[in-house]
Amino acid sequence: MEPSELKRSKDSPNSDESTRRSSFPDEVLERVLSLLKSHRDRSSVSLVCKDWYNAERWSRTHVFIGNCYSVSPEIVARRFPKIRSVTLKGKPRFSDFNLVPENWGADIHAWLVVFAAKYPFLEELRLKRMAISDESLEFLAVSFPNFKALSLLSCDGFSTNGLAAIATHCKNLTELDIQENGIDDKGGSWLSCFPESFTSLEVLNFANLSSDINFDALERLVGRCKSMRVLKLNRSVSLEQLQRLLVNAPQLAELGTGSFSEELTFRQYVELESALSNCQNMHTLYGLWDAKGIYLPALYPVCTHLTFLNLSYAALRSDELAKLLAHCPRLKRLWVLDTVEDKGLEAVGLNCPLLEELRVFPADPFDEEIIHGVTEAGFVAVSFGCPRLHYVLYFCRQMTNAAVATIVQNCPDFTHFRLCIMNPGQPDYITNEPMDEAFGAVVKTCTKLQRLSVSGRLTDLTFEYIGRYAKNLETLSVAFAGSSDWGMQCVMGGCSKLRKLEIRDCPFGNAALLSGLEKYESMRSLWMSACNVTMNGCRLLAREMPRLNVEVMKEDGSDDSQADKVYVYRSIAGPRRDAPPSVLTL
């Protein structure tokens, strides 16, 4: 039955009521709306009028839930009857850095149970920071006969046994994307669970896992899945094995190599190079674990059409990177380790004029005495050569206000500016002043800024700037910064589009927390840890704003009046019932 027919028979027995309402027939409206993909557009549409609300909810096939506790699965199922694809995010982002207790929640199972009843034809599930057990994975595998795509990013609670269940039962699987999870790796036999008749896989990413897999099974799998376009191997796959896989899969668009380091004979090297050169569709390269500089030239044939190169697991030197980049003129996204140093970044600026995104990760984040890594000079060099740069994540040990001012002058289109000066509270190393002017320059110049992470020694002035200028800012991360409540008050008062605010170790207290009273309902969430917020402040917030969930995570032995970690988020599902004892809901 057509969705529109079903709806009409349910909602309006008199089918010709269109003259009473709008002149737009329902089917046309629904048809048009079904073409809308962006969930924000859809939200806007649903607010127009009741008809549009209904048309939208009947035509929506994908739902994005940014905070799993903001809504319940029952409410979702009631509103959207036709969902085929779900994206769910769970824990606060700081759980990635061990700031959230392990049993905090965000378990997927309750959702799966509802989905099994209401969306038996569910095809896709994408989870981020959720807890998912092997039992849940098995349940998923057997409950949805049409299931096609599973993506798990930064999740935990499961093992390779769960993957085995997916491989065994999901006959129509096209995507299995296991990324950066806390997975209990019990061995690689799960891969052999894909039946010999299974040929539909298009995306396979198991780079997360460390154990050896049955290579023969993998080779056969890749050989028979002719539509495979994304293959990300784990470290246990050798160069020689990689070559064998590539020979059977020249159509690959994205490749994550395995270990790039064993010794090859000359013949093996030539074969590898040849296999790679046949991959004319390849635009993304990833992995390159332990990459040895000598083998990198094998990649040159692929480099010419690469747009995304992820070298963040390969500790390359500056000269090695420079040689490689000379062959990558079309690069748009580059991730590297800071072993490439400023000189390597100069090479980026020289060779990659189309670069839009750069991420530089620290190879040795905890060694304070290290004199290597990247400095402000590298970032500046990139900015001169790459005017289209709009996304940066930069870990460094020193920075200056002047450098940042130059950078944003060269690249005014930043949408994501994430600067991490790794020493908390470090000032401009030349002038010894706070880094206020640096971030002031960023927000004044980059009017399209959506996401900002600040670091270094910062006073309230930084936040005055942010509140005054960052009018498009949606996500702000703050650590070890600010001087008083005023800083946070500026942000809450000025950043009208703010959706996510995460703060740690700042001198913001109750006045700051409560200054956002009106704002939190229009935000997804607020995180404040190791600040000056007290339980009373949180209670007041919870009392004044009943539609917010105010959760406090207590640490044992701490002062009863201090609210060590506060997580505030809007919810139409009310307070959650699965919080562990260390989490108090006010």
Side-chain-side CA neighbours of 337 within 13 Å: the count stands at 19
Would you call 558 exposed, middle or buried from its count of C-beta atoms within 10 A (0-12, 13-18, 19+)?
exposed
Question: Which residue lies nearer to other proteins by CB, 229 or 457?
Answer: 457
Rounded to a whole number of angstroms, the minimum distance from the CB of residue 62 to other proteins is 26
Give min distance, CB of 20 to other proteins, in A: 56
Which of 2, 556 has the CB closer to other proteins? 556
Smallest gap from residue 216 Cβ to other proteins (A): 23
Terminal Cα distance for the chain, rounded = 46
| Six token digits for residue 464 | 């005055």
Closest approach, Cβ 100 to other proteins, in A, equals: 7
| Alpha-carbon span 154 to 182, nearest angstrom | 7
Residue closer to other proteins by CB (options 3, 425) is 425
Q: b/e map of 100-131 (b: 16 or more CB within 10 Å)?
A: bbeebbbbbbebbebbeebbeebbbbbbbbbb
Q: State which residue, 170 or 422, has the beta carbon closest to other proteins.
A: 422
Rank residues 504 and 570 by Cβ distance to other proteins and give the closer one.
Answer: 504
Q: Is 549 helix (H, G, I), strand (E, B) or coil?
A: strand
Q: Smaller CB distance to other proteins: residue 301 or 362? A: 362
Q: Looking at the DSSP assignment, which residues form a beta bridge with residue 5? A: none
Closer residue to other proteins (CB): 169 or 504 = 504
How near is the Cβ of 84 to other proteins at its closest, in Å?
A: 29
Residue placing its CB nearer to other proteins in the complex, 415 or 484: 484
d(CA 358, CA 325): 13
Between the CA atoms of 192, 151, 148 and 58, what dihedral angle is there, to the nearest 10 degrees? 170
Describe the crossing of helices 26-34 and 3-11 by its angle, rounded to 10 degrees.
Answer: 130
Q: In this complex, which beta carbon is closest to other proteins, that of residue 219 or of residue 290?
A: 290
The whole-angstrom separation of Cα 476 and Cα 528 is 12
- Least distance in angstroms from the C-beta of 504 to other proteins: 8
Smaller CB separation from other proteins, 306 or 553: 553
Give min distance, CB of 485 to other proteins, in A.
10
Least gap, CB of 347 to other proteins (angstroms): 16
Residues 6+ apart with CB under 8 A from 244: 219
Helix (H, G, I), strand (E, B) or coil at 289: strand
- What gap in Å lies between CA 62 and CA 41, rounded to an integer? 13
Q: Tell me how far, at minimum, the Cβ of 561 lies from other proteins, in Å.
A: 10
**Do residues 332 and 358 make contact, with C-beta atoms less than 8 angstroms apart?**
no
Report phi then psi at 316, rounded to 5: -90, 155
What does the alpha-carbon distance between residue 531 and residue 256 come to, in Å, rounded to a whole number?
41
Identity of the residue, 118 or 372, whose beta carbon is nearer to other proteins in the bound complex: 372
Interatomic CA distance for residues 89 and 64, integer angstroms: 9
DSSP calls for 312-363:
TTS---HHHHHHHHTT-TT--EEEEEGGGHHHHHHHHHHH-TT--EEEEE-S
